[in-house]
Amino acid sequence: MLPDPTSSERISSRTRLLAALLQNRGRSRSELVSLLGLSRQTVTTLVAEAEQAGLVEQRVRSEEAAGPVMGRPPLRISLASDAAFGVGIEIAHDHVRSAVCNVNGEVLTLHSAPIDIGTHATRIFDLAAELAFSALAESGVPRSKVMGAGAALPAPVDARNGTVHTRDFLPAWRGTHPAAALRERLEMPVRLANDAYAGALGEWLFGAAQAVSGALYVRLSAGIGVGLILGGRPYTGSGGIAGELGHTYVSDQGTICRCGNRGCLETIAGTAAVVARLEQGRKQCVSSAELIGLAHEGHRSARRALTDAGDAVGRVLAGAVNLLNPDRVIVGGDLAAAGAIVTDAIRAGVARGAVAPAAETVEVVTGALGERAEALGAAAIQLERAPAVLAARLEAA
């Protein structure tokens, strides 16, 4: 007879099961057996005890139940939607959003308000906390089930110590400690991430980058950033700077960028630059949402402003496509709402600058999560901890 597994072995197998389900919802038992490399008996036992503790659910998929397949349809195993929750905060150049999300990537409540990122940081932290509290209250989720909060910021974040590179990116935040400030206000664990990284994490766990080995999530907003999925995992680089595509040099003729260099991609394809080019032509103010609306209505100048931006982004992305040979480029951020107008232009820019075999195989698509990608990804920073936390709680029970 085999000896009983030790407590740490049990915690580790439970963590692996729950982590596999966080990333792969609705798996059959056989799929879990091959995914985890454990015996069928072990998987059956682990699933049964997690189900008893209310952490997983088993269901027959309605289309499989109704389908013409012979025999009994398999039970599909997922994490219980109330197993754990995360708070996701997105701090962008012109708004703050706070959302309460569950382990299956569903946004229960999302509260947002406009801000100017140049405002004093303390006011922004107060607003983020206020929105998080109202989203939590409306969701009715008990605090004991909240893993913590993640915050997506428009600046690089060093994942090793949670420090924000404010100097060139958020000058108004210099000398502040955003993680500590939010932790104090929210009274829960807080982790920070760059906004494009958070968007990539959201799309990787719950959207267009699921089960994709190599993906570039390109966030096209006031800033332009890339979140990387490499070898099937999110990647931050050694100091969190990976993906700062917006500050890639593209033109001698460009204007001076907020980072201090001249002619960065952001000064050509960031929303402010795109809107400014259209305003020059029309001699009136437009917002980025209005610009996209005009483009969808077929206005040639609005379409031109967006396709020029997409083409410039695509040409810069071509270098990354040559370097990394990704399966998919996923477009998020404000300009993603332009859909094919932007994705077609990016595809053309990539085709012009990348080697044919890489350019021909990379798919360029808009994200599946829309404008919620960053808030959901921010919550996912905490939801990723849920498998280990829940497995340890199960052992202690």
Residues near Zn ion, by CB under 5 A: 247, 257, 259, 261, 264
Among the listed residues 272, 172, 227, 224, the one whose alpha carbon sits nearest the alpha carbon of residue 373 = 227
Q: Are 89 and 151 in contact (CB under 8 A)?
A: yes
Query: Smaller CB distance to Zn ion: residue 109 or 261?
Result: 261
- Judge residue 306's burial from the number of C-beta atoms within 10 Å of its C-beta, 0-12 exposed, 13-18 middle, 19 or more buried: buried
| 194 phi and psi angles, rounded to 5 deg | -65, 150
Compute the least distance from the CB of residue 288 to Zn ion, in Å.
19
Compute the least distance from the CB of residue 261 to Zn ion, in Å.
5
Query: Smaller CB distance to Zn ion: residue 168 or 344?
Result: 168
Query: Smaller CB distance to Zn ion: residue 42 or 261?
Result: 261
Compute the least distance from the CB of residue 240 to Zn ion, in Å.
17
Helix (H, G, I), strand (E, B) or coil at 82: coil
The CA distance from 322 to 308, in Å, is 21
Query: Smaller CB distance to Zn ion: residue 156 or 326?
Result: 156
Helix (H, G, I), strand (E, B) or coil at 217: strand
Alpha helices in 243-287, H assignment, sequence order: 266-269, 271-282
Compute the least distance from the CB of residue 256 to Zn ion, in Å.
9
Query: Smaller CB distance to Zn ion: residue 273 or 342?
Result: 273
Compute the least distance from the CB of residue 249 to Zn ion, in Å.
8
Q: Are 375 and 98 in contact (CB under 8 A)?
A: yes
Residue pointed to by tokens 């949402």: 289
The CA distance from 262 to 264, in Å, is 6
Query: Smaller CB distance to Zn ion: residue 7 or 251?
Result: 251
Query: Smaller CB distance to Zn ion: residue 259 or 348?
Result: 259
Which two tokens mark 377?
A: 């990804």
Query: Smaller CB distance to Zn ion: residue 264 or 378?
Result: 264
Helix (H, G, I), strand (E, B) or coil at 340: helix
Compute the least distance from the CB of residue 214 to Zn ion, in Å.
26
With a CB cutoff of 8 Å and minimum separation 6, the contacts of 1 are none
Compute the least distance from the CB of residue 250 to Zn ion, in Å.
10
| Bridge partners for 100 per DSSP | 87, 109
Compute the least distance from the CB of residue 243 to Zn ion, in Å.
14
With a CB cutoff of 8 Å and minimum separation 6, the contacts of 152 are 88, 89, 90, 91, 192, 193, 194, 195, 197, 198, 199, 374, 375, 377, 378
Compute the least distance from the CB of residue 262 to Zn ion, in Å.
8
Helix (H, G, I), strand (E, B) or coil at 207: coil
The CA distance from 291 to 306, in Å, is 9
| Pairing relationship of beta strands 146-153 and 190-194 according to DSSP bridges | parallel
Query: Smaller CB distance to Zn ion: residue 223 or 326?
Result: 223
